[in-house]
Chains A and B, each alone.
Chain A
């Protein structure tokens, strides 16, 4: 058996591309290609995940990536990141206000009565996790009727477009720590590598496009006991944040579009106030593109954990910025895991050689010892 470096393989690779496409179109005569609009609407949470992990708010391209990568979220996010790397950076937006979010969901578990009220919005939180067999063979007409019904039954509403934040009232009552006076130049993770220690803005940006599962596991480890964040959600909101840019001619803030975002503020354990000041709550914050509630909650928990870790030193992995921030990026971690599949023939051959040589030396040494005794 020879371990030789293999040249070529181009034909095999071309074959692999075709094989992939053949599986995607395996339905053959009876099938029809997925439309991007179908993916965007019927698989909206999958689209939201890819938008968030890709780091680019482009739902339509995210659906294309999902279609192309056969639903693999890591690969789809990768494709979206690759796309964005080909586009020039035109500007940094002015500070956008999430208070102006056009909500579709808004709840608080810390407070019952919040200004504007609680609105569950489109959530599956209260649904029974029983498989709906009626969806197995859904007729197009039934599908359309559900949509029509909702629009027909839409009540008139006097609800405002946006609602004040719950934390705003907490802040007004003096229950929150004063906002720290830190330099306000946010860290751009698309331009600078993470060299620790990094500012909190680097942590928030890294987590905003982190792989959801990794973030969730680390947050879970903290609340399960490898940490001591005991969070209560002050507010969770999902909605469309208008992006306002100054008009190039008049300078007037003009709406360029809107971004669907999920934003979560958690209240964590009380802290003894500094120098005899009354104790205050500490907050964690999570916000990301798309409708990703679990991710936003996990992010808020980790934000709180990392704040503690950056201040007092980490007592557990989820409080260690280096541990958290370097291992939650999906493209990084998936890329590394995948690279093991690339030919390592030469490296491995040298390892085998080394192993053989070592064994021969050991055998010779043992023989020599045996001869002496």
Chain B
């Protein structure tokens, strides 16, 4: 995809760690396995990287054959170029990356009965996956019950998610990340608010 920015000098040497490593084949294989396991055992946290886990997730899952939406401007121009997926609005994207602390103000794709898999995958950036508000999970991949703790996720997300997934098999799949770890909440998982903090 062509980058519309003009030719010429760019910023001086970037001192931050470069995220390009997430596109290396070996890293992609590892990340994919991690995400596969996360979806197989909903709610079980998995370690991604020292930082920028959200980009790691998108770098693994996204390419030119899908679409992304970044309504909260979480991705740099460079990352967007590297992902190579056309950018669109959150109601039409295959993948949406969003801030967990803000109320979801969009309606993601839920899929169609002939292709429920075209429902969106939401990557939600939160503060922590090891403390905070408690949810109880049950369903496929969960032995009886599992409790997860999330901090930095607005209360309205649970209601929104359960609403979107109420027409199973239509719905969305969530990946929560605190940039170092992630956990997956596929639409098959039953999520209840324990009310506990």
Contact = CB atoms under 8 A, between A and B. Distances in A.
Contacts of A90: 64, 84
Nearest to A251: B2
A89 interface: yes
A249 interface: yes
Interface string A49-74: 00000000000000000000000000
Contact of A91 (B1, B4, B6, B7): B1
Contacts of B143: none
A248 interface: yes
Nearest to A246: B2
Nearest to B84: A90
B105 interface: no
Interface string A219-252: 0000000000000000000000000001111110
Interface of A is mostly: loop
A89 B85 CA distance: 12
B2 A247 contact: yes
Contacts of A155: none
Categorize the interface residue count of chain B. 10 to 19
B4 A88 contact: no
A249 B7 contact: yes
Contacts of B6: 250
B14 interface: no
Interface in B1-20: 1-7
B77 interface: no
B50 interface: no
A251 B4 CA distance: 6
A180 to B, nearest CB: 28
Interface in A246-305: 246-251
Interface in A101-140: none
Interface in A151-193: none
Nearest to B4: A251
Interface in B117-154: none
Interface of A: 88-91, 246-251
Given A90-B84, A91-B1, 10 more contacts: A88-B63, A89-B65, A90-B64, A91-B64, A247-B2, A248-B1, A249-B3, A249-B7, A250-B6, A250-B7
